[in-house]
Structure 1
Amino acid sequence: MKLQNNHQLITSKTLTKLWSFTAKERFNCIRLGTIFRQTGSSLIVGGEDGNIRIYDLPITGSSSKPQVVLESKSGPIQTMCVHDITKFYHNDLLVADSQGLLTVFCNKQILSRQTISTDCINSLQVLQDSTGCSQIITGTDTGVITASLPASELWRINFNDVHTTNQSDPSKLVTITSMLVVDLSDQCGVISTYLLVADSASMLHVINQGTIVMTLKSPAIITAMSAGRFINSSKLGVQTPTAGSNTSITSKISQQVALGSRTGAVYILHNFSITLDEFANCKCPITELSVLKMPDKETDYLLCCGHINSLLVFQDGKVYCEYEMPDWINTIDTCDIDNDGLTEIVVGCLDNSILALKLTD
């Protein structure tokens, strides 16, 4: 799929810092959300010491202390997810670490600890089907994804078995580089929930109900993914919705996935096809992507982080604004943290600093 290159210049906006502080302990990931029995949003920080520190939002002052500290009793936390798995106390906290353990916290207590692998879990997603049933999906740095519940394993795929040519050479074993659960629709508007899995062999696998239904060759190794509306439908050859058209169908048609790569290029997945042209380029390896949803605009803002001391905000393939950081960003999430109806950005950097930002005119 080739993009029609008719971008227009975009008026700049500004990222304004709301607050920042420096964590005392090293961390690898942050998440924002309402968990357990809490009523407000929290900042959840996964530490290299295996502990999870939870801060109430909004944060005031330059040196805040966590209100809750949870011990995973395992290795460095690599990734986390907030989701109501148990249906007991609102959202639960799912934590995966470098020792291959998946820990589920319910109401501040460890509900389950599963040894998913002896290798590092570097990706974590929750897949919820149309019936409301959820699966916890983990991916390892040795190319294995596993679907499980808090007490059992459901299915498993080893992508080294998929890439059969690599089995004789251990140095070429694949690594899971990114995963994303996303609702995608076909050209008829039929929507289904899929798991997208990118690996170090520059492949993008589309999985449905534990089966690989499609594998796409990506232009580069995909290291981050995020879903939204990034390209105007006219540039994709999709008919622009007209007055009176079925909004449920048109919203499905507009669903796209941004694919950030190790080369710094960003591609777009649409209708199970990857754009031949770059949508954007960060000029450095990309490690994280996120989205600021813009319901009142035709396209969303794409947030890009990588081997650069900046947060880049793109819209329609152009840099909308840039914010200089004290160090490389290693984790990012978005949430309405001040209850003003607008989504804010929270990033964590390699120097242990955590910053909250708002996009303003």
Structure 2
Amino acid sequence: MLLSLSTDIVWTTLSEHQFNTVAYGKVFGNKGDVVILAGEDGVVRVYEKPTTTKKEITLKPVRSLETKCGPALHVLLRDLTRLSPCDMLVGDARGSVVLFCDGQILDRRGTFSGKSSRITALSAQETSLGKVNIILGRDDGEIICFNTFTQLWKLRLSDVSKQSRDALVSVTCLLPVSVVTSWSNGKAEDYVLVADSQSCLHVLQDGEILSSIQLPSTAHCMCAGSFLLHEDTNPNKKMLTQIALGCIDGSIWICVDFCLSNASPYTEIGHPVTQLRCVPTKHNYTHNSPVGNGENNVVDILVCGGHFSSLKLLQHGKILHTVPLPSWPVTLCGLHDYKGDKLLSNDDRMILVGCQDSTLHLVSIT
């Protein structure tokens, strides 16, 4: 069953500074949520959350943070130090990672191998023991896992590549995720999925590569959700985790049990896909309702961006809705990305979209 969707641009603004990524949420000691833009000049700018009903707005600055590094590419908001409500981690184009605590630089890590290499992915994984580990990937193929002050493990993809050791293998994207598989007895287990420039998807656990999957094209983005219907309608059986892979050839594939679910892609967009976000549906969170039966035959919405001037909202492999944009979307941030609770709220259906022309848009999906 396809959902009836509508979208609205809640507000839009033009940034005075070119930015690469956007984040949203509480940071440091701020009581309210803020909008964060990280720029080409290495400065991270914090703005008040807009509350106006106007469509075109001007963001009100709160503060600026100097990373004193290269262009900022990634911003991550998590409580890493337990010293303030929420810390900020920034990754840049020269391989540096800067940890801000309460507005001050607490730690800076330079290039891990002694030479500059762009950070291509930066994410956090909360372990079953409640610890938060940071996972980063770089364009020289290094993957590093560390916590606040300690490096936990490191590996280089060129050392495990089946192709020539001389070939450059870059990390294109990664996803720390808790996965329910057909052999896990309904229990979720922690993994890190890493895609590389040789069109491989590597499954890592505790720093070890368990398996590698050859993809039809190089994946540049991933997200987890429920995108395909399950044949098993037993309400007591936990749904298997599905991973959507957005590829450079414009295809989107779904991975289940660390295998591609079909011989054909979930959909073909026709242009490189660089951004994916899952928008959950309430049907998938009704505990007593079987999946794939009657009105509950609903899967999550997949929001897709890339080398095209729009967002595409997908369900069951079909484009339900298109949100026109002034230029290519270079960064997406769900307002719920940094929330700790698991309950559905209005934030689940709000996405900040940063475009190549330095415009920022808040998109509401209803």
Give the Cα separation in 1 of the matches to 2:51 and 2:359. 13
Q: 1:89 aligns with which of 80, 84, 88?
A: 84
Q: 2:200 aligns with which of 200, 203, 215?
A: 203
Query: Does the alignment pair 1:260 with 2:246?
Result: yes
Q: 2:334·2:347 contact (CA, 8 Å) conserved in 1?
A: no
Give the Cα separation in 1 of the matches to 2:127 and 2:111. 22
Q: 1:282·1:304 contact (CA, 8 Å) conserved in 2?
A: no
Query: Does the alignment pair 1:349 with 2:349?
Result: no
Q: 2:326·2:355 contact (CA, 8 Å) conserved in 1?
A: yes
Give the Cα separation in 1 of the matches to 2:51 and 2:333. 15
- Residue in 1 aligned with 2:364? 358
Give the Cα separation in 1 of the matches to 2:279 and 2:346. 15
Question: Are residues 11 and 292 of structure 1, via their aligned partners in 2, closer, same or farther at CA, if it must alter by over 3 Å?
Answer: closer
Deviation, structure 1 residue 358:
0.7
Equivalent runs, 1:302-313 vs 2, <5 Å: 302-313=302-313
Q: 1:241 aligns with which of 224, 229, 234?
A: 234
- Residue in 2 aligned with 1:165? 163
- Residue in 2 aligned with 1:16? 8
Q: Which moved more, 1:12-21 or 1:350-359?
A: 12-21
Deviation, structure 1 residue 76:
0.2
- Counterpart secondary structure, 1:165: coil
Q: Which moved more, 1:52-61 or 1:22-31?
A: 52-61
Query: Does the alignment pair 1:330 with 2:347?
Result: no
The number of residue pairs the alignment matches comes to 337
- Counterpart secondary structure, 1:233: coil
- Residue in 1 aligned with 2:147? 149
- Residue in 2 aligned with 1:194? 191
Q: 2:28 aligns with which of 33, 36, 39?
A: 36
- Relative to the length of structure 1, the TM-score reads 0.89
Q: 1:232 aligns with which of 220, 229, 234?
A: 229
Question: Are residues 342 and 156 of structure 1, via their aligned partners in 2, closer, same or farther at CA, if it must alter by over 3 Å?
Answer: closer
Question: Are residues 231 and 165 of structure 1, via their aligned partners in 2, closer, same or farther at CA, if it must alter by over 3 Å?
Answer: closer
- Counterpart secondary structure, 1:166: coil
Give the Cα separation in 2 of the matches to 1:96 and 1:336. 21
Give the Cα separation in 2 of the matches to 1:343 and 1:34. 18
Letter of the 1:281 partner, please give it: E
Letter of the 2:227 partner, please give it: F
- Counterpart secondary structure, 1:309: strand
Deviation, structure 1 residue 121:
0.7
Give the Cα separation in 2 of the matches to 1:186 and 1:156. 26
Q: 2:48·2:60 contact (CA, 8 Å) conserved in 1?
A: no
Q: 2:175·2:222 contact (CA, 8 Å) conserved in 1?
A: yes
Deviation, structure 1 residue 147:
1.0
Q: 2:50·2:59 contact (CA, 8 Å) conserved in 1?
A: no
Give the Cα separation in 1 of the matches to 2:106 and 2:160. 34
Q: 1:116·1:146 contact (CA, 8 Å) conserved in 2?
A: no
- Counterpart secondary structure, 2:308: coil
Deviation, structure 1 residue 86:
0.8
Deviation, structure 1 residue 11:
5.5
Task: Determine which structure has greater relative contact order: mean sequence separation of CA pairs < 8 Å that are 6+ residues apart, divided by chain length.
Answer: 1
Question: Are residues 108 and 183 of structure 1, via their aligned partners in 2, closer, same or farther at CA, if it must alter by over 3 Å?
Answer: same
- Residue in 1 aligned with 2:18? 26
- Relative to the length of structure 2, the TM-score reads 0.88
1:166-208 Cα distance to aligned partner (Å, 9 max, x none): 223xxx3111111001111221223211000000111100100
- Residue in 2 aligned with 1:137? 135
Question: Are residues 200 and 152 of structure 1, via their aligned partners in 2, closer, same or farther at CA, if it must alter by over 3 Å?
Answer: same
- Counterpart secondary structure, 2:46: strand
Q: 1:346·1:357 contact (CA, 8 Å) conserved in 2?
A: yes
Query: Does the alignment pair 1:222 with 2:219?
Result: yes
| Alignment RMSD (CA, Å) | 1.8
Q: 1:114·1:150 contact (CA, 8 Å) conserved in 2?
A: no
Deviation, structure 1 residue 59:
5.0
Letter of the 2:212 partner, please give it: T
Q: 2:19·2:40 contact (CA, 8 Å) conserved in 1?
A: yes
Q: State the identity as a percent.
A: 31
Question: Are residues 231 and 75 of structure 1, via their aligned partners in 2, closer, same or farther at CA, if it must alter by over 3 Å?
Answer: same
Give the Cα separation in 2 of the matches to 1:164 and 1:216. 12
- Residue in 1 aligned with 2:340? none
Q: 2:270 aligns with which of 283, 303, 306?
A: 283
1:14-72 Cα distance to aligned partner (Å, 9 max, x none): 22110010000111011122221222222111111001111221354522232121111
Give the Cα separation in 2 of the matches to 1:180 and 1:340. 24
Deviation, structure 1 residue 343:
2.5
